[in-house]
């Protein structure tokens, strides 16, 4: 069941990243996707599911492998987006993995926040000022990543 759910989510993620890569403004498109993801993980109640998958990953190696594959795929896609934003070839993406992983951690943290606290399984809506702060952090991470991968002729 987990493998099927992850495969469906990965297919959706890959469509989103293809759209970002084809966009005339990949940075703005990426920020738009992050904004939508922050909102959707709360609306769709993905947090408890992600928390369960994380917990199951620690107990069952096959679920851990599925979860790692998804995370590695998302991080690789985000890294390629950073290279595209910087005007660099995809080969520059490998150096941007830490930045991509940090963004994944932020989004997962938002999704799983509040899971299991006070006997509740769902987090309260994300306050607008916190959402704005996260988006500024993501924008700063992009700036840092793309400065590391600045075009060769700049």
Model confidence at 100: pLDDT above 60: yes
pLDDT at 121: 52
Token pair, residue 47, equals 């947090």
- How much is the mean pLDDT over the chain? 85
Under 8 Å between Cβ of 72 and 17? no
73 closest CA partner among 30, 10, 22, 4: 10
Confidence label for 59 from pLDDT (cuts 50, 70 and 90):
very high
Tell me the pTM: 0.86
Confidence label for 29 from pLDDT (cuts 50, 70 and 90):
very high
Rounded mean pLDDT, 19-43: 88
Q: What is the pLDDT of residues 69-95, one digit of tens each?
A: 989 999 999 999 999 999 999 888 999
40-70 as b/e: b if 16+ CB within 10 A? ebbeeebbbbbbbbeeebeeeeebeebbeeb
| Residues contacting 114, CB < 8 A, separation 6+ | 47, 120, 122, 123, 124
Rounded mean pLDDT, 94-100: 94
Rounded mean pLDDT, 32-53: 77
């Amino acid at each position: 069941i987990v493998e099927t759910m992850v495969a469906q989510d990965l297919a959706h993620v890959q469509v989103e990243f293809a759209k970002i890569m084809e966009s005339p403004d990949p940075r703005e498109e990426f920020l738009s996707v992050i904004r939508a993801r922050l909102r959707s993980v709360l609306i769709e109640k993905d947090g408890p599911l992600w928390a369960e998958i994380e917990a199951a990953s620690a107990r069952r190696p096959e679920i851990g492998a599925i979860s790692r594959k998804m995370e590695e795929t998302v991080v690789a896609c985000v890294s390629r987006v950073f290279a595209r934003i910087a005007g660099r070839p995809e080969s520059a993406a490998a150096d941007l993995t830490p930045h991509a992983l940090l963004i994944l951690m932020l989004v997962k943290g938002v999704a799983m926040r509040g899971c299991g606290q006070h006997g509740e399984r769902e987090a309260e809506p994300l306050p607008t000022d916190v959402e704005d702060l996260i988006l500024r952090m993501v924008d700063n991470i992009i700036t840092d990543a793309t400065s590391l991968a600045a075009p060769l002729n700049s």
